[in-house]
């Protein structure tokens, strides 16, 4: 007898100034629709942002070490922002925006999260298929 599992398609999208850095589609088995409004999803996306942020900081330190003897004002240029989107179809479920102007252009425009992408997608899949999501914050339903 075959076991029927509900599968939902989602999209992870990381971009800078509306230019795509990384886009991955992933499937969530036994998706619980309540997880879209959960604190767990918010915390998970915040954690993913922190992972990306730490990677950018480490690359920035390497760049600063390399150019330490030169004029540091050359490292800072235009402003911008990174965006993490979690989508289901055309609908954005979660969006997180954080500043890109903290990082030199060489770091900002050479982001590579391929080593972390499997972990990121696994984390999102686990959260979106959680049977008992936490949908309350300060005794208010989200």
pLDDT tens string 70-111: 555 555 556 789 999 999 989 999 999 999 888 888 888 888
HEC assignment per residue over 85-134 = EEEECCEEEEEEEEECCCCCHHHHCCCCCHHHHHHHHHHHHHHHCCCCCC
Say whether pLDDT at 67 is over 90: no
Please give the model's pTM, rounded to 2 decimal places: 0.81
Among the listed ranges 2-6, 32-36, 77-81, 90-94, which one has the minimum average pLDDT value?
A: 2-6
């Amino acid at each position: 007898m075959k076991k029927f599992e509900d599968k939902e398609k989602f999209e992870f999208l990381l971009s800078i100034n509306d230019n795509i850095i990384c886009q991955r589609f992933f499937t969530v088995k036994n998706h619980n629709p309540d997880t879209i409004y959960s604190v767990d999803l918010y915390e998970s996306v915040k954690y993913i942002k922190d992972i990306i942020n730490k990677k950018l900081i480490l690359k920035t330190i390497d760049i600063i070490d390399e150019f330490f003897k030169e004029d540091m004002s050359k490292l800072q240029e235009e402003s911008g922002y990174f965006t993490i989107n979690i989508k289901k179809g055309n609908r954005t479920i979660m969006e997180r925006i954080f500043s890109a102007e903290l990082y030199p252009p060489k770091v900002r425009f050479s982001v590579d999260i391929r080593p972390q992408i499997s972990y990121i997608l696994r984390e999102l899949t686990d959260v979106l298929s959680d049977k008992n999501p936490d949908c309350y914050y300060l005794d208010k339903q989200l």
